[in-house]
Amino acid sequence: MQKVEFVKNLEQLTIGLKSQEIVKLFEAGFKPMPNNPIYNFQLINPILFLSKSFYDQMSQYSELKNMLDVLGSATIYSEGNLANLTSILKPVPAVQVAGNEVAIKFFAFHKALLNTWVLSKNILLNELLNEPFDEALEKGVLVFQIIIEGEGLETEQYIKIFSALNDLTEVLGKIFAESEQKSELILLDSGSDTNLGLKAGIETAKSLFLVFKEVWDFIVNRKFYNVQQVNKALLDSLTVRAQIKEKVDSGVITEEEGQTYAHIVKTRTDELIVMKVLPKELAGMTNVFSNKKLISEYQDFKRIGTGNN
């Protein structure tokens, strides 16, 4: 499993199982309260049922189920264990709950899960990669997913991917006057699929994502009906095309440079998608099977149309 996926799965489990809320309530009850030794541990019960509901749902997903099994969740969330737990969690002195094996194991499970998630974020991921997509993009960070089929990619394939991405970011950097801010690779995480994190100028990163989004929308909506018209139709539909034209009209770049930039944007994006490289945000919008099928269809279409373009 990839580092990013591992951390994201831990995050999903921690949030869904309500680990933070459960730990917070237990710890509040365990704090010394000399004036009032009774704590209402019953407050945990409603959250417990929500946690159990999520656990049952996640048990259907093999990757998450494997993680849950490793954590020993089957015993923690067994019907008998939860029945005992609900009878224990009531307004009582903290020592009564702290001395109960079932309650302490339940608390320890969620405490360990929460700590593992926090620790894995700090150790395994770049700080920028921990941020939500929109916030990361505002800092020029874009994570791509390379869909892997078979045992993995050969070095030559990685070189082609890096080269195409470099060409794209270089051209977009020129268009948005961010060419001095060189793009850098901040993550290359291999696994069942590969995550590739790129940091570039903010406008460059935003435009890079938008180009992929517009091309991917074009593919998803099956707009490639006519082999002879596809290149022009797709190129004309890209937002960056208008931005290139604006640079040409204002004399910042020549007509020839504008045509070259537009060609590079279109062809390199095409190449990357055919090599099964997509921004992770887009890849997550459809399932892996659908992505592979769409890319395969587009690849076949491009192959058929090669002689006509």
Contact 197, 2 (CB under 8 A): no
Number of domains present in the structure of the chain? 2
Same domain, 159 and 109: no
pLDDT of residue 252 exceeding 80, the answer is: yes
Q: Which of 125, 149, 170 is the last residue of a domain?
A: 125
Q: How many other C-beta atoms lie within 10 A of the C-beta of residue 80?
A: 9
The residues that bridge with 199 in the sheet, in sequence order, are 141, 184
Same domain, 233 and 268: yes
Same domain, 80 and 139: no
Domain that holds residue 284: 133-308
pLDDT of residue 107 exceeding 50, the answer is: yes
- Tens digits of residue pLDDT in 260-280: 998 899 888 888 988 889 998
Same domain, 213 and 284: yes
Q: Which of 86, 106, 125 is the last residue of a domain?
A: 125
CA dihedral 263, 266, 270, 273 (to 10 degrees): 140
Q: From the centroid of its chain, how far is CA 98?
A: 38
Same domain, 225 and 116: no
- Measured between alpha carbons, how far is 183 from 199 in angstroms, rounded to an integer? 5
Same domain, 111 and 137: no
Query: What is the pTM for the complete model shown?
Result: 0.57
At residue 24 the predicted structure's pLDDT band, cuts being 50, 70 and 90, is very high
Contact 113, 13 (CB under 8 A): yes
Same domain, 111 and 195: no
Burial of 122-135, coded b for 16+ CB within 10 Å and e otherwise, reads eebbbebbeeeeee
